[in-house]
Structure 1
Amino acid sequence: MLDIQLGRRSLSPIQRIAAAEKYRSLYEKQARENLKQASGGDRRSEKFEQNQGLPNLVKVENSIETTKKLAQVAGVGKETYRMGAKVLNSNNEKLKNEVLSGAP
């Protein structure tokens, strides 16, 4: 469904960010799982015993930086995404409505 919404050419960058922001929790969950794996994960696992608990020896296969991944999905730069998400997550409803409507 996200691909369909983002495939529309008439969406402004802030509207693309708003659509991608709905999937933030999914990417954050993946990032937390990867972080857990990178830090050794289960201390009783075979990988941990093989590395004898040495840090940074467990290679993360699919590392995810949440904001960077969401920016790719939305088709905007990382900083543009970060600033747009900040506006969308703010409590200023007037500002959010102006930005989403494209009002000057």
Structure 2
Amino acid sequence: MAEPITGWIWDRNLRALLELLSRYSGYAFDETDWETIAAGVQDTDDESPDGWYSYPLAGTSGTLEVSLAQAVGGEEVSVSITGAEIPELQLRTDTLLSAFASH
């Protein structure tokens, strides 16, 4: 099993991250997914081990388990992604985290 891919992104980039991860994993991400995740991540806290929200993106290339938590008092969202077993998906996931942390 591959190690989790972790990092942070700006909260304004969360939907774009999830849409691209879904596309790469073969998951049909839609408005209901976004509404569920947006509500779930609202009361999260990245400083609390129990303060994270997880959501599966079960696609044709496997299931990515995306765990999210907001930074208290900040505009960042901490991200941990498991299930990226294919090297190409690992690279894409890591690249997305880097890109969405810089914009």
Q: TM-score, normalized by length of structure 1?
A: 0.25
Greater share of helix: 1
Greater share of strand: 2
Larger gyration radius, structure 1 or structure 2: 1
Report 1 or 2 for greater relative contact order, CA contacts < 8 Å, sequence distance ≥ 6. 2
